[in-house]
């Protein structure tokens, strides 16, 4: 999940699609690549209480398999604020873009899907995410400012393809926090796939206060408000991913 803009629901989308895929029986690993550790918190894991994190893995001090934590049906590679230092640490090493890909390699056989939650920047951590991934999903908010950076992101993905990951593809856009009551957002939605020539996955995720409540309880929207429109919208996208992957 990548978008250099903050607050477009990357973390929410990672957690919700992970929960949706787990409901379908997949073995899911969530990777928190953001030093702010919002995904780790939202899984009910307090970064202050864990012995080792993704930072130790990227710094070569620990194996990913020894750092993963369980949260219900999901497994996660947690983050802590130390990961902010990884930017600097990785910056000084050659092959730095491949650190995450290398770290995840031993785990590939153990999971059906690995979802990576990128930080809100196009720095070395996001590049590591794009290098490790087979596909990118771009969550975006359907208002002008929300998707102004998407063109730039797609360019970065293009660069990543030529330099570190020739096989990287864009799986699609997920329209988040959608308020279909305004004509403006309906119009923006209508020309999205044409504008970027990438598919829009499923239907827009509706804006709802239920989303703000879930992380504090260490749950995804799928368990916090299982029958809500937001949970169903994420389930529908998880079904699309699951079916296409089989």
Closest distance to ligand ADP from the beta carbon of 107 (Å): 23
Q: Which of 128, 176, 185, 220 binds ligand ADP (CB under 6 A)?
A: 176
Question: Token digits for 91?
Answer: 């910056």
SS3 of 160, please?
helix
Question: Token digits for 39?
Answer: 């995904």
Binding pattern to ligand ADP, positions 92-121, x when CB under 6 A?
----------------------------x-
Q: How far apart are CA 37 and CA 53, in angstroms?
A: 10
Closest distance to ligand ADP from the beta carbon of 124 (Å): 18
Range 2-41, binding ligand ADP (CB under 6 A): 6-12, 38
19 binds, among ligand ADP, Mg ion, none (CB under 5 to 8 A by kind): none
212 binds, among Mg ion, ligand ADP, none (CB under 5 to 8 A by kind): ligand ADP
Judged by CB under 6 A, how many residues of this single chain contact ligand ADP?
18
The pair phi, psi for residue 126, each rounded to 5°, is -60, -40
| Among 196, 131, 184, CA closest to 157 | 131
Range 206-225, binding ligand ADP (CB under 6 A): 207-208, 211-212, 215
Partner residues linked to 139 by β-bridges: 174
C-alpha Rg value of the chain to the nearest Å: 17
């Amino acid at each position: 999940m990548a978008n250099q803009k903050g607050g477009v629901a990357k973390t929410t989308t990672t957690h919700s699609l992970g929960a949706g895929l787990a409901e379908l029986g997949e073995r899911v690993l969530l990777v928190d690549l953001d030093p702010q550790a919002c995904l780790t918190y939202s899984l009910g894991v307090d970064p202050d209480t864990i012995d080792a994190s993704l930072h130790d893995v990227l710094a070569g001090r620990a194996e990913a398999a020894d750092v993963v934590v369980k949260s219900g049906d999901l497994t996660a590679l947690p983050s802590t604020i130390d990961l902010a230092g990884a930017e600097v640490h990785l910056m000084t090493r050659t092959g730095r873009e491949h650190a995450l890909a290398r770290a995840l390699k031993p785990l590939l056989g153990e999971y059906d899907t690995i979802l990576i939650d990128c930080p809100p920047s196009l720095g070395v951590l996001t590049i590591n995410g794009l290098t490790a991934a087979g596909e990118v999903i771009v969550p975006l908010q359907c208002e002008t400012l929300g998707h102004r950076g998407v063109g730039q992101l797609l360019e970065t993905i293009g660069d990543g393809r030529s330099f570190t990951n020739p096989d990287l593809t864009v799986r699609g856009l997920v329209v988040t926090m959608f308020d279909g009551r305004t004509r403006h957002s309906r119009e923006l939605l209508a020309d999205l796939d044409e504008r970027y020539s990438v598919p829009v996955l499923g239907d827009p995720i509706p804006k709802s206060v239920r989303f703000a409540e879930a992380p504090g309880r260490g749950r995804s929207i799928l368990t916090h408000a299982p029958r809500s429109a937001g949970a169903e919208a994420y389930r529908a996208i998880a079904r699309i991913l699951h079916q296409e992957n089989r």
